Structure formats: structure tokens, C-alpha cells
Amino acid sequence: MPATQQTNPTKAAIEAAVLDLTDDELVKALRRFPAIKDAVQAREAYAWPAEARRNLMEALARRLERGRVPAT
């Protein structure tokens, strides 16, 4: 009888919490980093605030596509 794969409940809880976040909530959380906050503020001053949020989410998607990056 093959073993059934079970998801660890703590891993599932993290996934559910992250997937429930809105784009605005993710942007707000990422803006806690000074470099991101400064870059988004500069982009908002240059373009529409929604454009700055979209640019941040696109950058995050590209980062996630690359996979893990070792800490320096």
C-alpha cells in the first residue's frame, strides 16, 4: 500500500496565511525595508502609486522565479 503524502500543518498554515494576503498587504510589508520604501516612494513621485505597487509586485515575482538566493 503506497504511503499517502500529508502536508505538515504548520507549513500549511504559513502557506494559507501568505496566500490570503492581498497585493496591498504584501507591498505594505515589503515597504518596511528602507531600500524598498525609498524606491517605492521615488517611483510613486514619478508615476502613479498603483504603478509603483505593480512594479514592486513584478519585481517580487521575478525574484521568486529565480529561486533561493544564499545569504551574504
Gap between the Cα atoms of 47 and 30, Å rounded: 19
Please give the model's pTM, rounded to 2 decimal places.
0.77
Grid cell 502557506 in the structure block, residue: 15
pLDDT in tens, 7-16: 789 999 999 9
What is the residue-wise DSSP string for 11-55?
Answer: HHHHHHHHHT--HHHHHHHHTTSHHHHHHHHHHHHHS-HHHHHHH
pLDDT tens-digit map of 2-56: 555 677 899 999 999 999 999 999 999 999 999 999 999 999 999 999 999 999 9
